[in-house]
Amino acid sequence: MKIFIATVFVDNQEKALDFYTNKLGFQKKADISAGDYRWLTVVSPDQPNGVQLLLEPNAHPATKPFQSALKADCIPFTQFEVEDLDKEFQRLKSLGVEFVVEPMDAGPVMIASFDDTCGNLIQIMQYKFKKQE
């Protein structure tokens, strides 16, 4: 068994697609009409056949309160690994990404968190040591 798709709930799929591709650098993988919404996924350009991130509409009544509660408590919805946190932080800042937690030490990792403009806080992290595969 392996992870195939992970979900991020978003308040606007088109805005999310723009942010996740043009700011974060993911590539669109699937874009299929599904009634009022779309089956819309993105992938890492380094792993085009890897795990897909589903940009899922937050249309279910439970998702908006859940997102709001996490955001109010400054809890990231998900985490992405980067090779060089400081470099990625500077790149994203230059693109206008709003960080709520600037790069900081968190034990074995360095972390930073930003607002994805679609209802979530997202954390990026970098291991401080070479991880074992």
Domain extents for the chain? 5-127
CATH 3.30.450.20 fits 5-127, yes or no: no
pLDDT for residue 100 is more than 90: yes
Torsion from C-alpha of 39, 27, 19, 64, nearest 10 degrees: 30
pLDDT digit string (tens) for 14-70?
Answer: 999 999 999 999 999 999 999 999 999 999 999 999 999 999 999 999 999 999 999
Non-local (6+) Cβ contacts of 99 within 8 A are 89, 92, 93, 112, 113, 114, 115
This prediction has a pTM of 0.93
How many CB atoms are located within 10 Å of the residue 126 CB?
18
